[in-house]
Structure 1
Amino acid sequence: MQYKRLEEYGAIGDGNTVALVGRDGSIDWCPFPHVESPSVFAAVLDADRGGHFAVRPTQSFESVQRYRDRTNVLETTFRTAGGSATVTDFMPVPEAVGSDDRAIGPDDWPPAIYRKLECEDGPLEVEIEFDPRFAYARDVPEIELTTDGVVATGDDERAVLSSGLPFEPASDGHGASATATLEDGETRWLVLGYGEEIPLEPSRHRETLAETVDYWRSWVHDCDETDCPVGGQWHDFAVRSSLVLKLLIHRETGAVCAAPTTSLPEDVGGVRNWDYRFNWIRDSAFTVRVLAELGHLEEARSYFELCLDHCSRHEPAEMPPVYGLHGGSDLEERVLDHLEGYRGSAPVRVGNAARNQHQLDIYGELVLAIYESVRYGEPMRSGDWPVVRDLVDYVCEGWDEPDAGIWEMRTDHEGFVYSKVMCWTALDRGIRLAEAANGVEAPIERWRAARDDVREAILERGFSEGANSFVRSFGDGDTLDAANLLIPVVGFLPADDDRVQGTIDATLDRLATDDGLVRRYEGEDGLPGEDSPFFVCSFWLVTALALAGRTEEARDRFESVLEYASPLGLLAEAVDPESGEQRGNYPQAYSHIGLLNSALSLADSTGSSDVGSSAAASPAPLGRNESLEDVASSGEIVRGTNEIE
């Protein structure tokens, strides 16, 4: 097998896990039963040893992928000289599918991949290759051929493929394969159950497909361009990004998975390969905002409660920046040296050592997420205020400490300017919450004094007159950091401030490419290899330009960045500016959150949900539509305030 470009993959999932399906019909990545579990298919990390599950014509073919409208149901259509066929891939969402004869509930529904193979123009010969490799390909299972398909049994795992096709042992001795000739209109089903068999029942499978389609369409809503907060020419990108985000929200806990893959490289052949199958706190504020703005209040509420739960589990000084999707924080980083890595990019890592880092920005992002949730109408529980108060108190005392920063530097800690900005944000939003909630105990005057100190330090030590820009860290000369584009977004300075405008212009001059891409920072980061431009930084620049009233520039750069999206509208973490290929884990929640927030900011800057419009209006930063005082006048900021001591 050969490695494919990341843009040649579509993603399917069920709220527990995600699989990547190539345009050639091969499932090359899928962990079971959860996205953070070991893989069953991992050909994307080792084309020969990783394992895959392919369905494709035996003849030379061309193929194209598309999602069924407003769903995460993927269709791959093959065309040969003699015919055509479509494979429809999906994973049933437990809440969406009706119970079968076993009368099981959603939590007991077996993880499964359904593959519907339908011939539109035949006859057409197709081949199926089924080669699972459990435990990140360390466990090659025993294969048993049955009258209904194939059973793969490992040391502690089992996968059952139901198909009704006559499988044989694969020619290379691994897995099983089959061929079949399909006539016009003929349909075959292949159903892979993890842990248990799902009997082949075509009529029931058709119902399951219809239920899955209905689920996704009901969730995303049937909004036209006039109803949607993001209308106009980018409506479809916004819909796809929201569906990607939902695909990455864990159904059991509400945690947002940063990406469903591990070790897809930022730099092909290099060592910048990380496991992103976890929940990063810093995604919280922007996730809450975008979910609430798009009307997904249940998901926003669940994530808000998850943030509060994270806060309550740890002393502020010991707050991990990243959690497992089930809430655990044991994310020991290990190397899988038996896998060669995507296109030879080693090491392949599982777990993430960033869990042990000290990152000061997370406190601002947590408090901002709580503030945003309250602003959107979600009251805090009476026991939550002491947790928030402790966070703000910690920032009040520890804001001047060096840290690893938003980019999780694996070098000596520094006084990163963005970290200080988010410390200011924690203090500022903590003060606003305390002022709006009558009767809560808070040392507001001490917080105000600390907020003033942080602000003074940032303006004096974090801004370079020579560069006319905010810089990466205190005492670091004129080195730039794209994270400082968020200064107007969190309200530290207004977007029309000369220092913000200077930071935007310096970013355009020194970190940005002509076609819209933005690198994260200048300077060394302790790792070899090239640092590719990040999608989220590119969207931050769009947002900053929109907030600054530079709408035409923002729109042009937004359009340029979107040209790098996959044919399905999916975004990885980064992009190679030379080849145009996407890089890093895929698809990436933060990239799609950045896209949605940029589109919302463009909508604000034009005064219309049609972000293709040229109408003028006054843009505003995060927290723009309704003040906390407005919320307080219509309901409680803290539920059960009188119980707080």
Structure 2
Amino acid sequence: MSDYKPIGEYGIIGNLETVALVGDDGSIDWGCLPTLASRSVFARVLDPDGGHFSIEPAASYESEQTYLEETAVLQTTFETASGTLTVTDFMPFVGEDDPTNPEVQGIYRRVACTEGTVEVDVSFAPRFDYGRADSRVEVTDKGAISSGDGTRLFFVSPADLDVDDAGDATDEDPTATGTVELDADETRWFVLQYGMEVPTDDERCEELLERTADYWQNWTHQCDGDCGLEGYAHDLVVRAGIVLKLLTFRDTGAIAAAPTASLPEVVGGVRNWDYRYSWIRDGAFTTRALVNLGHEREAYEYVEDFLEISKEQDPENIQPVYSLDHQADLEEDELDHFEGYRGSSPVRIGNEASGQTQLDVYGELVLSVYHLAQSRGELDDDDWDAVKGIVEHVCEAWDRKDAGIWELRDDQRHFVHSKVMCWVALDRALTIADEHEFDAPVDEWESTRAEIEEATVEEGYDEERGSFTQSFRNDQLDATVLMVPMSGMLPFDDERVQSTIDTVWDELGRGDGLLCRYEEDPLPGEEGAFVLCSYWLASCLALSGRTDEAWDVFEAANGHANPLGLLSEEVDPETGDLLGNFPQGFSHLGVVNTALYLKGVEEEGNEVADPLGVNSLGDRDDAGRGSISKS
């Protein structure tokens, strides 16, 4: 097994069409072009021969990565014995209202020597279609042209290039290499273009860098004012917001769960999934976080997008996950020629979870509509009709078994979390109907809501364990039961809720603010701690009035972010290594939501209104918590 970089030693750049991973050694080891849904061009993060694009000093060095403040512009600084070099990486993005401009599509890499003299090595090794296509590289007077899998890339390089030392463009999997020496205050631009080849000069590149930085800084500034979070992990929250934005696909408004595929949940294990798709659940979580940072546009586009899907088909046929361009077929395949990150196989692309039944997604979708309607103060009649159709299906289907939020691939079960979210679908739809005076079968919906609540409380709570459990009439713990109070089904001062919080923390906690998702998994091997679960716990503690404990968990969880403020899906409790797809949207929205909870509780005390809208249930009890009493 070859050497691999720790996942935490990568940063990301992107342009709302695709995302690339850039290591602190200056190597782009993951990138799909032209969109995130495309086959990879660079995939060395999954196999040594998967393809890369590296720029680094020829001599030994120490390096550090930072972002330009409040942007997605990444800088890697190299310190060598002879001088200092900074590589600035970005994908141009100059505004969502501008049409897609092929003249600025690409990866731009500004290489500047700030002190002394530095010799720089360049290695350009595209491997199209996950390394399966015949990849060609041909040197030109401007740099190189590469092709494969019907794609052409244009590499502008100020360094003279050779292809495999022989310049033979017919060699299998060729690599273009070159060296350039820079003195203090000298700058060179390396540009990888796709779509079309256009003239590039230093002045144009500098302009694009400035405009891209301006875009991101203007976008992040929208979270100032009432949402200001100084003192509440502000910088990490801002970074989380940028990550969530980078996961959005501007053509459709869809939101990817993560920009990578098959990074393992346990090194050497089989939990290796492709997350470059739009889960209704993940997107719904994300839009609520973005709205609370002042970014309503993203939420509106996402909700409208999936409501259109709801209008076009029977709600029963709505999939839990779609491609970013809304294709339904996500056929799962295994790349047998890839060894996988640190020997973690199989390497999967596609995701068969698209064919599962996951009842909780209906609640997530309705909750997003509710939250957006609260923010905008209105909801279209056509959108309400789509919501009614979803809720009518929930009334018919809530008591079925499903695969659940964790998409377990063994027998389906009556998952408590799925029932809770079915309850949410009815509860929020009733609130929308009341507040916006929409026609609805109120008596029927209220009766079904009460039926779901009764079944969940009676069959989902284990008196001996003192906790709600993963599914009806079993005793396995699952961190998703923290959604029972977060949904508003039960108030936080309910004894069963407090006992559940303590039991989950005691039994699933792994120290240092980490929690596992559940106790048992049908797949072999143990997985890491799931980062989002830590933020759920911190949120529950905060809304229970246990703010000191909430801060302890919140700050410990934040401590697992890499130096750039990026979080993976999971963390190895023993080593602290980041695991799973990276960066993970779930983890970053957890940062945002928990910070908002803490701010709301500490600034408004017992009168706090839930800043996320997940407990806005009409009447509230004296402690400011959601009441289960409905009229």
Map 1:224-623 onto structure 2 (within 5 A).
228-232=227-231, 234-377=233-376, 379-438=378-437, 440-476=438-474, 478-523=475-520, 525-607=521-603, 618=608, 620=610, 622-623=612-613
Cα distance in structure 2, aligned partners of 1:25 and 1:3: 14
2:45 corresponds to: 44
The superposition leaves residues 101-155 of structure 1 with CA deviations (integer Å, 9 ceiling, x where unpaired) of xxxx435445300000000112111100000011111124222111110111224
Cα distance in structure 2, aligned partners of 1:341 and 1:374: 44
Tell which deviates more after alignment, 137-146 or 330-339.
137-146
1:122 corresponds to: 116
2:204 corresponds to: 204
Cα distance in structure 1, aligned partners of 2:326 and 2:242: 23
**2:21 partner letter:** L
The offset of 1:307, in angstroms, is 2.7
**2:76 partner letter:** T
3-state SS of the aligned residue for 1:607? helix
The offset of 1:327, in angstroms, is 1.5
**What is the identity percentage for the equivalent residue pairs of Structure 1 and Structure 2?**
49
1:168 corresponds to: 162
The offset of 1:223, in angstroms, is 6.3
The offset of 1:314, in angstroms, is 2.5
**Are 2:7 and 1:15 equivalent residues in the alignment?**
no
**Are 2:175 and 1:179 equivalent residues in the alignment?**
no
Cα distance in structure 2, aligned partners of 1:37 and 1:581: 28
Cα distance in structure 1, aligned partners of 2:101 and 2:401: 44
Contact 1:35 1:277 in 2 (8 A): yes
The offset of 1:284, in angstroms, is 3.8
Alpha carbons of structure 1 residues 310 and 356: separation in structure 2 relative to 1, 3 Å: same
**2:411 partner letter:** D
3-state SS of the aligned residue for 1:56? strand
**1:468 partner letter:** G
Cα distance in structure 2, aligned partners of 1:170 and 1:79: 28
The offset of 1:526, in angstroms, is 2.0
**2:497 partner letter:** V
The offset of 1:275, in angstroms, is 0.4
**1:21 partner letter:** V
Q: Which of the numbers 116, 132, 141 marks the counterpart of 1:147? A: 141
Alpha carbons of structure 1 residues 390 and 15: separation in structure 2 relative to 1, 3 Å: same
The superposition leaves residues 179-202 of structure 1 with CA deviations (integer Å, 9 ceiling, x where unpaired) of 111111110000000132232300
Tell which deviates more after alignment, 385-394 or 239-248.
385-394
Contact 2:508 2:516 in 1 (8 A): yes
Question: What is the TM-score of this pair, normalised by structure 2?
Answer: 0.94
1:633 corresponds to: none
Cα distance in structure 2, aligned partners of 1:626 and 1:461: 26
The offset of 1:626, in angstroms, is 7.0
Contact 1:132 1:140 in 2 (8 A): no
**1:607 partner letter:** E
3-state SS of the aligned residue for 1:263? coil
Contact 2:227 2:292 in 1 (8 A): no
Alpha carbons of structure 1 residues 109 and 497: separation in structure 2 relative to 1, 3 Å: farther
Contact 1:162 1:198 in 2 (8 A): no
1:639 corresponds to: none
1:101 corresponds to: none
Contact 2:609 2:616 in 1 (8 A): no
3-state SS of the aligned residue for 2:376? coil
3-state SS of the aligned residue for 2:420? helix
**1:485 partner letter:** L
The runs of 5 or more residues in structure 2 that have no matched partner are 620-631
Contact 2:59 2:80 in 1 (8 A): yes
**1:157 partner letter:** T
**2:344 partner letter:** S
Contact 1:26 1:55 in 2 (8 A): yes
The superposition leaves residues 452-511 of structure 1 with CA deviations (integer Å, 9 ceiling, x where unpaired) of 1111111110111111110111121x2111011111211111111111101100011100
3-state SS of the aligned residue for 1:181? strand
Question: What is the TM-score of this pair, normalised by structure 1?
Answer: 0.92
3-state SS of the aligned residue for 1:383? helix
**1:106 partner letter:** T
Alpha carbons of structure 1 residues 347 and 549: separation in structure 2 relative to 1, 3 Å: same
3-state SS of the aligned residue for 1:30? strand
3-state SS of the aligned residue for 2:228? coil
Tell which deviates more after alignment, 265-274 or 107-116.
107-116
The superposition leaves residues 494-543 of structure 1 with CA deviations (integer Å, 9 ceiling, x where unpaired) of 111111101100011100122110111112x3211112111111110011
Cα distance in structure 1, aligned partners of 2:97 and 2:139: 29
Cα distance in structure 1, aligned partners of 2:377 and 2:3: 49
Map 1:622-637 onto structure 2 (within 5 A).
622-623=612-613
**1:76 partner letter:** T
Cα distance in structure 1, aligned partners of 2:149 and 2:529: 42
**1:576 partner letter:** D
Contact 2:61 2:81 in 1 (8 A): yes
Count residues in correspondence.
612
Contact 1:431 1:444 in 2 (8 A): yes
1:102 corresponds to: none
Cα distance in structure 2, aligned partners of 1:408 and 1:416: 11
Cα distance in structure 2, aligned partners of 1:545 and 1:165: 56
**2:330 partner letter:** L
The superposition leaves residues 622-642 of structure 1 with CA deviations (integer Å, 9 ceiling, x where unpaired) of 42797789xxxxxxxxxxxxx
The superposition leaves residues 281-329 of structure 1 with CA deviations (integer Å, 9 ceiling, x where unpaired) of 1124432321111111111211221231232232121110001111121
Contact 1:489 1:621 in 2 (8 A): no
**1:623 partner letter:** G
The offset of 1:245, in angstroms, is 0.7
Contact 1:490 1:622 in 2 (8 A): no
The offset of 1:427, in angstroms, is 1.2
Map 1:18-29 onto structure 2 (within 5 A).
18-29=19-30
Contact 1:259 1:587 in 2 (8 A): yes
Alpha carbons of structure 1 residues 74 and 558: separation in structure 2 relative to 1, 3 Å: same
Cα distance in structure 2, aligned partners of 1:427 and 1:456: 14
